[in-house]
Structures are given as structure tokens and as C-alpha cells.
Amino acid sequence: MRGRLLVSISSIFSETRGAVAEMVDALDTEGIPVSLLVAPHIDGNWHLAKDATTRDWLLAQQEGGRAMILNGFDQAAQGRRAEFATLGAHEARLRLAGSTRQMTRIGITPDIFAPPRWRLSPGTLEALPEYGFVLAASTRGLHDLEHGTFHQCRNLSVGEGFGAAKWWRRNIIRAAERGASRGNTIRLSISGRNLGEKKVAQDFLRAALAAADHGAVLGDYRDVIAD
């Protein structure tokens, strides 16, 4: 697979939707595709099916050609164990069945899966093809579920269990520059919870632009399947 720039945003719900939309618009302006990580529940309290404004915004994004990635069943707040990090295949199937069923009712049917904080258990990886998923993204890289292949590429994350301080963001920008210069695939992700902080949002956009300027091929997670 050629070295790509893959940008994604997670934790999209009522409180973060405005800041997420601003970042999506900023990336669109720069011609940088962005994938949206969506979940039917967040923190056990917010339900996508009951939030008409967020639901309609996500559906409009999907209809406009935006890549949608299932981000678990109940994406937890920072500080709790990542949902799919240790699940066996049986438990993973139960959660995947619930999440895909609820998302389908809403009208969102992604075939790409990324667990919260990118932590993917072997049991989850085993169960995913049974629910129509063709690609899974983890902390280690990208799993082609149709062909059984794996592409190693680290994820550079801001928030959602990872850092967001100035020094962390500075390292993310440098890593994006170095990786792109070497022809590596650069995966940049940020939590919508952190996009309300202006400097954090600016630095995330700067990291994406740095990777693009240093030669990364622009695309989204669906392009990985096409390679």
C-alpha cells in the first residue's frame, strides 16, 4: 500500500458536534479527506438514535460521500477500559450485533471498524467479518479482513486516552512530517472532545497539512480497501 494520509475524528455527539463540524470544514477547505468514527452510544448516556440533530448531520455527511467508521457500541469516556480491547469472540459478537443493528436502523452502515482507542482484541478481529466488515484499524495498523493481510502503520492520536498537551501535539506534527517524508502511511486521529480547544484544533490541522506537504497521498480509509 502506498503511503497515505488517513485522518479521522471520534467522539461525535451533541456536545462536540459543532467543533467537529468546524474541523471537517477546515479539512475540506484544504482538500484533506476525513473519516468519521461513529458509535450508537457514548458514555452510556448519549444515544445517537435520540439525537436528531447529530443523526441528521451524520447522515448528510454520509450522503455527501464522507467515510463512516463504526467506533464500537458504547464509546466510553477517557479513564475507562477501551470497549473492545480484551473481549473474546462471543462477547465481541454480542456488541457488534447490537451496534450494527442500531446503526442500520439509523441509516448508517459502515463496513470499516475501529474500536475505541484503536485497541482491538483477537476475539473482535475474529468476529468482524461475520458482520460484513472488510477493514479493521487498530493501534498496530490496518487489517484487511477480506484477504487476511495486515499493513503495519502506527496511529498518531490526540485525546481519547492519548495526550493533548502542547508537547504531545508538537511530537505528533514532527512524527507526521517524518513519516510522510519516508513514504509511510500516516494515521492522524483526534477526539471531538478536544476540538473545542482552539490551539489543539489548530495543531491537529497543522499535523495533517505537514503530512500532505511532505508527500503523503491524500485519501480516506476506504482507499485502503481499493489498494
Domain boundaries, the chain: 4-226
Does pTM surpass 0.85?
A: yes
Question: Are the beta carbons of 71 and 42 closer than 8 angstroms?
Answer: no
Cα distance between residue 204 and residue 11, in whole Å? 15
> Which position has the grid cell 477547505?
29
Q: Which CATH class is domain 4-226?
A: alpha beta
Radius of gyration of the chain (CA): 16
Give tens-digit pLDDT for 10-40. 999 999 999 999 999 999 999 999 999 999 9
Strands 41-42, 46-47: pairing kind: antiparallel
pLDDT the model gives residue 27 = 98
Give tens-digit pLDDT for 105-163. 999 999 999 999 999 999 999 999 999 999 999 999 999 999 999 999 989 999 988 89
